[in-house]
Amino acid sequence: MALLENKKVRLNYEILETIEAGLVLFGYEVKSIRKGQGSLDGGRIIARGSEAFLVGVTIPAWQVANAPKTYDSERPRKLLLSKSQIEQVSEAERTGGLTIVPLSVYNKGRNLKLSLGIARGKKKYDKRQDIKKRDEDRAMRRASKQ
């Protein structure tokens, strides 16, 4: 079950590959995510040197009064990936036309994990075809129920 989900990413991008990563978070950010607060919209992953970071994601503090005054809800968050996965992310970042986007944040045991996808942007006509196919499938399921 996903705690946070980037719902528009599957409409705007064609997901080529998915990777699971750990997140470096503060305790009050973890509590906030487990309550369902936060947004992955507009987020992306960048690789700098031998590290990968999640940028453009908003995670508010769980209790604003108890958070430090210097807390930034859109700060870059470090991702916990193996060396081969970091190399894979940086290679995709260097490749033209590919981007790395966050798909969802979910529980795995006690830990929070981030599912990220290496994706290629869709053209407008591809999006229209996907919407048309989804509507046709929905109509077929409705007809089969009746």
- Give every strand in the sheet of 77-80, ordered side by side: 2-5, 98-108, 111-121, 13-23, 77-80, 51-55, 44-48
Kindly report, residue by residue over 86-110, the tens digit of the pLDDT.
999 999 999 888 999 999 999 999 9
Proportion of the chain above pLDDT 70, given as a percent:
100
Q: Considering the entire predicted model, what is its pTM?
A: 0.84
Q: What per-residue confidence (pLDDT) applies to 63? A: 86
SS3 130: helix
Average pLDDT over residues 134-145: 93
Instruction: Read off the amino acid at residue 100.
Output: I
